Amino acid sequence: MTSLTLAEIAAQLGGALNGDSTIRVSGANIIRDAGPGDLTFALGPKHLEQLAASQAAAAIVPRGLYTGSLPVIEVDEPEAAFIQIVRQFRPVDQVPSREISPAAEVHPTASIADGVTIAAGVMIAADVRIGAGSQLHSGVQVMTGVTIGANCLIFPLVTLYQHTVIGDRVVLHAGATLGAYGFGYKAGQQGLELCQQLGNVVIEDDVEIGSCSTIDRGTYGATRIGAGTKIDNQVQVGHNCLIGKHNLLCAQVGIAGSTSTGDFVVMAGQVGIKDHVHIGEHVQIGAQAGIMEDLAANASYVGSPAMPERQQMKIFAVMRQLPEMRKQMRVLQRELDELRDGLAGDDQAAQDAA
């Protein structure tokens, strides 16, 4: 097991050590989980109370921040320094040798560039093209006519349907499915009939798609994910959608067919979007929002149905007051009833007197 003294760590980081230089650490962890023998880190004053109660052997801290008894190494950028040490205790998996496993099935018409890694259990169909330096892990299924760019990283059990196009430096996490049929049906004499599914999926450069996310093919054209967009786990993008550049789609977002977004759109978890709407550029959408119509650019929206954030916050504020308002209404109703009864009594007395 790797272990380092605080003196060795401080020397690596170019930091100032305050404490026993001979203390050895054998792991690195965040403050919440750090135990004896671990090195941890703090970013600022908000972490000082946690640091004082931590069981960690030592910590990396900003210069001049910490005055307690725990041994510390002071640096200019604690998080970057901590990452450097974590990599020594938990090294990133080495890139496998650039080779095609004999246990992979590669069609003879496939075009594989130099430096491609294809692991055991990968299946590559006819007329596939794979760019230099890409890696395909076990169980990846690549169907007919797919194009994969250079330096892509495709994790186990990803499925790429026919004629999917993947740009350069794309990361596809385990279980992602690209190019499945869109959810488009029409009523026929024998029941529901699947509409034509003749399009494909196009993923532009530098996109990352999370585990078990699904992107359906277009009906006739492409479902497109713009360059630099990052998609979280378990996200659904429907057929014919056009997702802009540098979007962030968080977990469990669901986007119905033929929806489009501008660039730099952010959707928080469980956002749902109906079909055939457009989301303007630089829009931010809060968690669990329901989008039923086009959203103007450069604004934030929350709620279901979604409204501009300021308007929705006013509604939420009123809703919190409803129980008290209900009590007030009951009091007012009783007073109104008493007033009405009093007036009725006065009218009756006046009639009797007449």
| The total number of structural domains that make up the chain | 3
> Which range, 186-195, 244-253, 309-318, is most confident?
244-253
- Label residue 243 by pLDDT band (50, 70, 90): very high
Those residues whose C-beta lies under 8 Å from the C-beta of residue 174, and which sit 6 or more positions away, are 155, 156, 157, 158, 211, 212
Assess if residue 54 is contained within a domain.
Answer: yes
Residue 333 belongs to domain spanning? 321-354
pLDDT at 96 over 70: no
C-alpha closest to that of 227 among 201, 204, 260, 202: 204
What's residue 319's pLDDT? Answer: 80
pLDDT at 244 over 80: yes
328, burial (CB in 10 Å: exposed 0-12, middle 13-18, buried 19+): exposed
pTM reported for the whole predicted model: 0.82
Identified catalytic residue from 47, 137, 239, 278? 239
Least confident range of 15-24, 184-193, 269-278? 184-193
* Angle of CA points 247, 252, 177, to nearest 5°: 80
Assess if residue 170 is contained within a domain.
Answer: yes
Q: What is the CATH number of the domain that holds 26?
A: 3.40.1390.10
- Label residue 354 by pLDDT band (50, 70, 90): low
Type of residue numbered 76: D
Dump pLDDT digits (tens) for 22-62: 999 999 999 999 999 999 999 988 888 888 888 999 999 99
For 244, how many CA atoms within 13 A lie in the half-sphere containing its CB? 18
Whether residues 164 and 280 fall in one domain: yes
What's residue 95's pLDDT? Answer: 58
239 as an active site residue: the answer is yes
pLDDT, mean of residues 132-150: 97
